[in-house]
Structure 1
Amino acid sequence: MALFILRRLLQSLFVLLAVSVVVFCAVYAVGDPIELLVSPEASPADRQAMIIRLGLDLPLWQQYTHFLWNALHGDLGNSFVQGVPALDMILQRMPATFELVAVAIAMTCLFGIPLGLVAGLYRDTPLGRTIMGTSVLGFSLPNFWQGMMLILMFAVWLGWLPASGRGDTVSVFGVPFSFLTRDGWAHMIMPAINLALANVALVLRMTASGVAEAQSQEYVKFARAKGVRPGRIVSRHILSNILIPVVTVIGMEMGHLIAYSTITETVFAWPGMGKLLIDSVYQLDRPVVVAYVMFVTLLFVVINLIVDILYAVLDPRVRLLAPAN
């Protein structure tokens, strides 16, 4: 286990290095932030002073080496627009995104696994076919369109829920949380549903497929022949075996939601990291964009490592390292 973790950490360092090169070159090759930061009436001397202050007068390779050296010391640069550390801006928005993703993942588990279990156990009945047919909508509907329809229905027509913002928060150890207030839940429920719908459909169909396959296995048939109660067969023999790929997918989707919640956060004006990324792209705030991508890549690496370890814990037959020859 220790050797596996060490090997994955070394691989992760190479991944982070490769991502930093690609993202840095791609972001710094697009647009000129000076055009947005400096007034058109500014003198050439003022423009040049701003270029030098931001380090944009240096060659690209030298800008990257400075960025890499500072990143190794925990400094991902300062925002061109706000003038504050980019990492601080991301960390300030992180609780809002994590809270939204946590609720979306909880909805995915709460609805996706039970519905998939029912659809798999009763796949040849009208109920099972209805659940599987409806799940197709989760993959088919565009995320931004879902969000707008939710706002139109529940905020505009019915007036039940607020259309945007985070609502009231309660600070715990200096970190604001929305789920601790009723108003916060009212603001959170629509964006969380919008994030969760596609994942509910994915987990539902994976669970249903796993249940259908497990029912044809010999150990399930043998349990039935012994007279084991159907509920115990489902919980002990079927569910415990299909949870391995489901947990893997949920872990991967957690990282996916954190990284790509930008559309949902923009539609609902949720003040999270995704909204910060979109605003930074519009403003050509290069350090914030690069810092965001690096931070999210690190999260993906950590989440994938945790998922691999959980995979081995859930199924002792899985070995993290191949046996030596």
Structure 2
Amino acid sequence: MSLAFLIRRLFHAFLVVFVVSLIAFQLGNVIGDPVSAILGLEATDESRAALREELGLNDSYVQRYIRYVDRALEGDFGLSYKHQRPAGDIIAERFPATAELAVLALVLSLLLGIPLGVVAAIWRDKWWASLLMTGSIIGVSLPTFVIGILLIFLFSVHLGWLPSFGRGETVDLGFWTTGLLTKSGLLALIMPAVSLAISQVALVARLVRAEMLEVLRMDYIRFARARGIRDRVVHFRHALRNTLLPVITVSGIQIGYLVAFAVVVEQVFQWPGLGTMFLSALTESDIPIITTFLVLIALLFAVINLIVDLLYAVSDPRVRLAKG
């Protein structure tokens, strides 16, 4: 892997984070008045003016942005207007819940989507393969909140098997709080993860099917069959390995997507993660929380896409050669 390839990818990642930080900082100027959010509407003009001076809101836009970036590089994203605590600490407390939800949803989407896509490609002329693809269209089309509500009605209200809200009992591991080590935590995680994963299962299945059909038409697959190699070996050792390269890219994007767009699922199940925190911050004009969340998501997307690009270049030398 060439140094120029790595530098280009690092520059792209930096550019994404820089642009999003500008947008996030600008949102802080238009979402609401932080002075009103802190002091309330009945505060005197003198107290408002004093707070604006203390927060540096009377400075120019450039001065405030430079100060914001300088503090952010030191890990200081400001105090939450509502909680009067560092925004970074609040994000750190909520991140484990969203991370566990997103990772489990990704694992489910890959474990189910890849086999379904392979089966639908190999036996594409069967009626049940067409049924699988029809089901995948439904899975992509259904909003996640509808899936969540249906799951709550079936497994919580009707059957009473799973809790309808909350995270269950958690275990504090120091810097990480997890529900994976308790029974109630695992049960509480099932429905939110399934709701978040269903559309991704459909996406992965359709992608694998399309790539698998393309690979099966390649000359080396025909040569392998002409040599008398068994279909199982051709399908799973030769075809599937080359099919999984695009899945690497999609999986990387999925992680960022699942973290960023878990907002709806977390709201339906009252999951105490970043999504519910972000919606609460929007309604309360808690600008430090909003800007920190947006920058964090941008950084997450940038890092994941950087890793995916590097893995793709390692897996397929044609990528870095073409860029060179």
TM-score tier by shorter-chain length is over 0.9
RMSD: 1.7
Comparing 116-125 with 27-36, which one deviates more in the overlay?
27-36
Q: Is the 8 A contact 2:172 2:178 kept in 1?
A: yes
SS in 1 for 2:323: coil
Structure 1 residue 65, shift from structure 2 partner: 2.2
SS in 2 for 1:319: helix
Q: How many residues align?
A: 323
Structure 1 residue 173, shift from structure 2 partner: 4.2
CA–CA separation in structure 1 for the residues paired with 2:177 and 2:75:
24
Query: TM-score scaled to structure 2, two decimals?
Result: 0.94
CA–CA separation in structure 2 for the residues paired with 1:68 and 1:322:
32
Structure 1 residue 203, shift from structure 2 partner: 0.3
- 1:101-120 to structure 2, matched below 5 A, reads 101-120=102-121
1:22 match: 23
Query: TM-score scaled to structure 1, two decimals?
Result: 0.94
1:12 match: 13
2:269 match: 268
1:224 match: 225
Structure 1 residue 236, shift from structure 2 partner: 1.4
Q: Is the 8 A contact 2:94 2:273 kept in 1?
A: yes
Q: Does 1:142 align with 2:154?
A: no
CA displacement 1:55-81 (0-9 Å, x = unmatched)? 334343332222122122222212111
Q: Is the 8 A contact 2:5 2:320 kept in 1?
A: no
CA–CA separation in structure 2 for the residues paired with 1:119 and 1:11:
37
Q: Is the 8 A contact 1:33 1:283 kept in 2?
A: no
Structure 1 residue 297, shift from structure 2 partner: 0.6
Q: Is the 8 A contact 1:4 1:320 kept in 2?
A: no
Comparing 122-131 with 149-158, which one deviates more in the overlay?
149-158
SS in 1 for 2:76: coil
Structure 1 residue 241, shift from structure 2 partner: 0.6
1:210 match: 211
SS in 2 for 1:106: helix
Moved beyond 4 Å, runs of 4+: none
CA displacement 1:130-182 (0-9 Å, x = unmatched)? 11110011111112222122112211122111111111122334421112221
Q: Which amino acid aligns with 1:92?
A: E
Q: Which amino acid aligns with 1:95?
A: P
CA–CA separation in structure 1 for the residues paired with 2:134 and 2:282:
38
SS in 2 for 1:318: helix
2:53 match: 52
Q: Is the 8 A contact 2:167 2:272 kept in 1?
A: yes
Q: Is the 8 A contact 2:145 2:265 kept in 1?
A: yes
Gaps of 5+ in 2: none
